[in-house]
Structure 1
Amino acid sequence: MTTPNNNERRIFFNDDKCPIRNVVLQIGDKWSALILFALVDGADRFSSLKKRVVGISQRMLTQTLRDLEREGYVSRTVYPEVPIRVEYALTELGRKLVKPLYQLVSWADDHHDEIKQNRKAYDENVD
């Protein structure tokens, strides 16, 4: 993304230099924010996360946790026990991310009813 000068509008490039495409959209998928907020409560095991993030499949939870770990938002710790215990936790970067993300979630909560009404009105006019 380039910043505009006085007379120009922003340009959003389809490459890895665009922070919106490369960072924001990565955490804006269906499951990432829910997992991040589940981990705000503290480190958790896979099976517990799966129960707490209702509707997520085992495959999708695995993939999303890997993606969040790759980005540096989540750490994975394996404890050499029998059976092996694995815990996921927010990293420092993940904790920093959750703070502004909470503002968006709070905004969504405050405006949820209004947005639902807008959708309903729009859908009634489109049909």
Structure 2
Amino acid sequence: MSTLFTRIINGEIPAQKVLEDDRYLAFLDIRPVRPGHTLVIPKIEHDYIFTLDDETLAGLLPFARRVVPALEQVTGCKRVGVMVAGLEVPHAHVHLIPMNAIHDLNFAHAKETPTEVLAAMGDQVRAALRD
């Protein structure tokens, strides 16, 4: 059985994809902690980030870093926090969370976001990535 993230990669489940290449995908979280909360995943289905092969692990953060300036521009945040939890979906991933204070990383603030709000944010981030 494929993970939820593999189904997103394969286009079986819709997502607001903001950046993609042959090895990685960045897309908006449907339950963001803060507006612009983005998940970055390797396209290989692998459960735990710290058992990824060295090459895949080494490429994950440089790929994620490409999204950061767009998130900063669109959200006006002070920084983009990076978090690795790894329990929600059995597919290695990192969270990019626009933040102004440390308490912005609190997952208790996460809430389901309407599709149209995510679509608007996705459009803004993709436009900023093209700039």
Q: TM-score, normalised by structure 2?
A: 0.25
Whichever structure has more helix as a proportion of its residues is 1
Q: TM-score, normalised by structure 1?
A: 0.25
Structure of higher RCO (CA pairs closer than 8 Å, 6+ residues apart): 2
Whichever structure has more strand as a proportion of its residues is 2
